A and B are shown apart, each in its own frame.
Chain A
Amino acid sequence: RKEVEQDPGPFNVPEGATVAFNCTYSNSASQSFFWYRQDCRKEPKLLMSVYSSGNEDGRFTAQLNRASQYISLLIRDSKLSDSATYLCAVTSVEYDYKLSFGAGTTVTVRA
C-alpha cells in the first residue's frame, strides 16, 4: 500500500464551480500535512498547510480527518488559473520530516 494516495482525476469543471478531492495516508504517526500546487513542468509550490481544525485561505479550504486518515482540499468559485495538479504531502518527526507525496490530482477549469 502506498503511503499517500490520491484520486488522480482529472477533474474537469466549469469556471465558478466547486471542486473537492481527498488524499489518504497510511501512517497514523503522520504529523504535518500539506497541499502543493504543481503547474506543468514546474516545481511544486506550497498552497497551504493543513491544520487539525481545518483552515481556509481565500477560495481554498483544507480539512484533516485523523480518524479516517485523510485530508481534503476544496476549491470554491474555480478560476481558469486554478488548473493545475494538486499534490498532497505528509511528514512526521518520526521520519526525519521527509515529505511523502501523493501522485497528484489534476484539475482543469474550463471557460
Chain B
Amino acid sequence: DGGITQSPKYLFRKEGQNVTLSCEQNLNHDAMYWYRQDPGQGLRLIYYSQIVNDFQKGDIAEGYSVSREKKESFPLTVTSAQKNPTAFYLCASSIRDGYTFGSGTRLTVV
C-alpha cells in the first residue's frame, strides 16, 4: 500500500544536540512538507519542497534544515539553534491540494 512513513515515533534530544527526523513516501508525490504542532495549536509549516533538489522556508524555519535529494525522502534536521524543539512533527506529501500525512514524530528535549 502507498503511504508516508515517519520515524522514529518518539525521539529524545539532549540540549545542544542535532537530530534528524525521517520522512519517506511511496505515493509518487512531488510536494512534501514538514509541520510542527504544539499542544492546543494548529500545524505550523516549517519547510516544504515541491520538487527534488529544491525547498522553501515555511513560517517557522529558524533552527531547522531539510534536504530533498530524492523524490521519496524529505528528512528534517532539528539543530541546536532551535531553542524550543519539544513538539509533535508531522510530515506530509501532496498532489495539488490532496494531502497525505505521516503518523508523526514526537520530539522531547531532555
A interface residues (Cβ-Cβ under 8 A, vs B): 4, 6, 8, 31-32, 34, 41-46, 87, 91, 96-104
Residues of chain B at the chain A interface (Cβ within 8 Å)? 31, 33, 35, 40-45, 48, 50, 56, 58, 88, 90, 92, 94, 96-97, 99, 101-104, 106
Known contacts A87-B42, A87-B43; decide if A43 and B31 are in contact (CB<8 Å).
no
- Contacts A41-B106, A43-B90, A103-B42 known; list 7 others, CB within 8 Å: A4-B42, A31-B97, A43-B104, A97-B97, A98-B48, A101-B43, A104-B40
Residues of A within 8 A of B96 (CB): 97
A96–B104 CB distance below 8 A: no
Contact A98 B33 (CB under 8 A): yes
Residue in A8, A87, A99, A101 whose beta carbon sits within 8 Å of that of B97 in the complex: A99
Q: Which residue of B43, B48, B88 is within 8 Å of A41 (Cβ)?
A: B88
Q: Are B101 and A99 in contact (CB-based, < 8 A)? A: no
Contacts of A102 in B (CB 8 A): 42
CB within 8 Å for A45 and B42 given contacts A96-B48, A96-B50, A98-B48 = no
A103–B39 alpha-carbon span in the complex (Å): 10
Of chain A, the residue at the smallest CB distance from B43 is: A101
Q: Of A6, A45, A96, which contacts B101 at CB under 8 A?
A: A45
Residues from chain A with Cβ under 8 Å of B103 in the complex: 42-43
Residues of chain B within 8 A of A98, CB atoms compared: 33, 45, 48, 58
Q: In the assembly, what is the distance between CA of A69 and CA of B48, in Å?
A: 26
| Cβ B101 vs Cβ A44 within 8 A | yes
Assembled-state Cα–Cα distance A98/B92 (Å):
11
Q: How far is the CA of A8 from the CA of B39 in the complex (A)?
A: 12
CA distance A82 to B104 in the complex (A): 22
A31 CA to B96 CA, complexed, in Å = 12
A97–B45 Cα gap in the complex (Å)?
A: 12
The residue of chain B having its C-beta at the shortest distance from the C-beta of A31 within the complex is B97
Closest residue of chain B to A2 (Cβ to Cβ) is B42
Q: 12 A-B residue contacts at CB 8 Å?
A: A4-B42, A34-B97, A41-B106, A44-B90, A96-B31, A97-B31, A97-B97, A99-B45, A101-B43, A102-B42, A103-B40, A103-B41
